Amino acid sequence: MGKIVEWNREFQVWQYSVSHSTLLLRSVNVEGFDTRLDVAFMAVELMHLQPDYSHLEISEANNEEREQILGAQSSDRAAGTLYLLNGGEGYVLARRCSWHEDLGDHHAPSKFGPLRGTE
């Protein structure tokens, strides 16, 4: 497992768009933080999530972890990268993961596009 990024702050599952297969995790500017963080997963194929996380570490699964989690789906049929959340507490199979930090509040639009609930 190769760690990509980590934040020591709370995140919530904020939005999932079926039409765009986009998942948005958000950490709003709560006590101690002046910024908001949006983490977007694009072209999501599969996910296993908790509604919220006290911190967030995103890692890329290695071949063994991918096989263990996806089983028979780990072949080329399951396209994308398997992102592990907090060491496997959750995971997202998606084409891409990106994040953006800004001064927005919980209602401000996301950099990742007009997702319902973030206008």
Per-residue pLDDT of the chain (119 residues; tens, 9 = 90+): 689 999 999 999 999 988 889 999 999 877 778 899 999 999 999 999 999 999 999 999 998 999 899 886 666 567 899 999 999 999 999 999 999 999 988 778 888 876 655 54
Q: Three-class SS of residue 52?
A: strand
The answer as to whether 108 is a domain residue is no
The answer as to whether 115 is a domain residue is no
The answer as to whether 52 is a domain residue is yes
Contact between 61 and 7 under an 8 Å Cβ cutoff? The reply is: no
The answer as to whether 114 is a domain residue is no
Angle at 103 between CA 17 and CA 6, to 5 degrees: 70
pLDDT at res. 107: 79
pLDDT at res. 74: 65
pLDDT at res. 84: 97
pLDDT at res. 110: 84
Which residue(s) pair with 26 in the sheet?
12, 38
Contact between 99 and 113 under an 8 Å Cβ cutoff? The reply is: no
- Other Cβ atoms closer than 10 A to 97: 20
The answer as to whether 116 is a domain residue is no
Count: domains in the chain: 1
C-alpha closest to that of 108 among 100, 98, 118, 117: 118
Give residue 23's domain range: 2-102
The answer as to whether 117 is a domain residue is no
pLDDT at res. 16: 92
Q: Quote the DSSP letter at residue 72.
A: G
The answer as to whether 118 is a domain residue is no
pTM for this entry: 0.88
Contact between 52 and 91 under an 8 Å Cβ cutoff? The reply is: no
The answer as to whether 110 is a domain residue is no
